[in-house]
A and B are shown apart, each in its own frame.
Chain A
């Protein structure tokens, strides 16, 4: 009875699908680029870490009198790893279509565990005067918890800037289902985040202000 332009419906449908797929494709490409960027960074950081680890071994076992170079290298790596952690968080928040960033975070978390063990060991072997600060945070926090963690991160960054070579700062996610981190968590009985462990014996739960933490950092 009524003559209407029915072809517009499928034409609009085809264009919509094309535009939508292009948009999703562009979004996905951006995410893949970020993942690729992180992987490239990881390759470099992994190499740097292997180098730093070997230096530690060398100085600990073959030339224990010259620990300073190993400590310096470890500290340099600590700073590099911390910056990389911030970049990973930022990229993870921006990636909404793919879940591959989760895997990269796990790889990175394992690297940090290894680094922490090395730091503890190096300190013991070389009788170094830096302090190891383990910062336990949640990877998937509630809004108040995220704000707590953000605040704590800013304070720790400030502390690190102030203390420089006297502090090894190692953030560890507690909820990424990594067996080694779970063991460390159990060892220190970590039940809330943020929690700070200073030199394996001082435990501070909840957000800590700069002055409080400084009391325990020589």
Chain B
């Protein structure tokens, strides 16, 4: 058996396992996906909005947070102006919020920690300056803290600017991410508390020592810190926060590079937990799962590149020899469809992925899949997903050479 077949079968085995796991979690819990319980014993919360040169969006973000149907006496809003050189601070000061001006230190984590120092409430939340929580999002998220074991809670992040192609593609991606994140909640494995709206028990963040400003994705790292201490992280699917996603390939690439580098940094920082049950699900599932998604992405891409490049190289050589010998390049008789184990599993994986994607879109979007949407899904499957490993490869390179900034 060739090595490429063995690698492919390994890829198939792990991928089937993950798809199956998520589908079982979905069928076991489909009645609980949108479950919400509004607390009658709400806790005081400080929402921190770190902002660096966000004059275009800061006003709408503050308005969205202030529009929350959360008791005003329990809500404190802090805008941390992270050394902006535009009108961010000036605009923020027009609202009934606390505006803290600080020198820019180059990371969002430093700005959030600055806000954390000034926060007085039991809970501490973060809202990115280009994100917009729905009015009931905060109430729904905070209600999870009635459970004394909950250390953090987050929302369903949706795409605000989905008019452009890249926005539409990211909308599918964010839908899948939200779906998977909710399913992971049932095995206490929510491994990221994203910036558009996440809330934490302040004492846990203090215990962790704040957000790590050396990690590019402080929202992943802080979640790992919470899980490491065996706290639960909850995710409310019906609490939505909209975020502005990159509209250009360059912007998208830069953002994903940051996510991947931050993911690797987080993984490396917490590598001591791998396989250890005394760190709860972080040790036995989250860290291996996190690593496996990266490995699978690379392996799948590697096999794909190997097969395509082999065929392509053969075709080029064949063409060259054909020109040299004045013979025909291709013959109709050369085409035969001989089913292989690659095709068997390839079809199976594609079919499972369609089921997986179909359930996610149906559950979260609740809209009819139009022919236009079908085209976007095909672009997502066959072009967009292929860019993941490319970004990941560059991020590995950046980590190896120690270039963590972008």
Contact = CB atoms under 8 A, between A and B. Distances in A.
Interface of A: 1-2, 4-6, 8-9, 11-13, 15-16, 19-20, 23-24, 26-28, 30-31, 34, 90-91, 93-97, 99, 143-144, 146-148, 150-151, 154-155, 158, 207-211
B336 interface: yes
A1 B230 contact: yes
A8 B345 CA distance: 23
Contacts of B9: 24
B367 interface: no
Interface of B: 1-2, 5, 9, 12-13, 16-17, 20-21, 24-25, 28-29, 149, 186-188, 230, 232, 280-281, 285, 310, 313-314, 316-318, 320-322, 324-328, 331, 336, 338-342, 344-345, 348
15 contacts: A2-B232, A4-B281, A5-B28, A8-B21, A9-B285, A11-B24, A15-B20, A19-B20, A24-B9, A28-B341, A30-B340, A99-B1, A146-B314, A147-B318, A208-B325
A90 B340 CA distance: 11
Contacts of A154: 322, 327-328, 331
A190 to B, nearest CB: 20
Nearest to B316: A147
Contacts of B13: 16, 20
Instruction: Name the residue in B2, B324, B325 with the highest tally of chain A Cβ atoms < 10 Å from its Cβ.
Output: B325
A31 B326 CA distance: 36
A12 B348 contact: no
B217 to A, nearest CB: 24
B314 A5 contact: no
A112 to B, nearest CB: 21
A8 B25 contact: yes
A21 to B, nearest CB: 10
A2 B230 contact: yes
Q: Which 9 A-B pairs have the closest CB atoms?
A: A27-B341, A147-B317, A209-B325, A151-B321, A12-B21, A94-B338, A16-B17, A12-B20, A147-B318
B339 A30 contact: yes
A7 to B, nearest CB: 9
A16 B9 CA distance: 12
B338 A150 contact: no
B28 A209 contact: no
Contact of A96 (B5, B24, B327, B336): B5
A19 B348 contact: yes
Contact of B340 (A16, A94, A144): A94
A27 B29 CA distance: 34
A176 to B, nearest CB: 17
A105 to B, nearest CB: 16
Contacts of B331: 154
B149 to A, nearest CB: 6
B325 A23 contact: no
A102 B30 CA distance: 51
B325 A1 contact: no
Contacts of B342: 96
A31 B343 CA distance: 13
A20 B9 CA distance: 9
Given A19-B16, A27-B344, A151 B24 contact: no
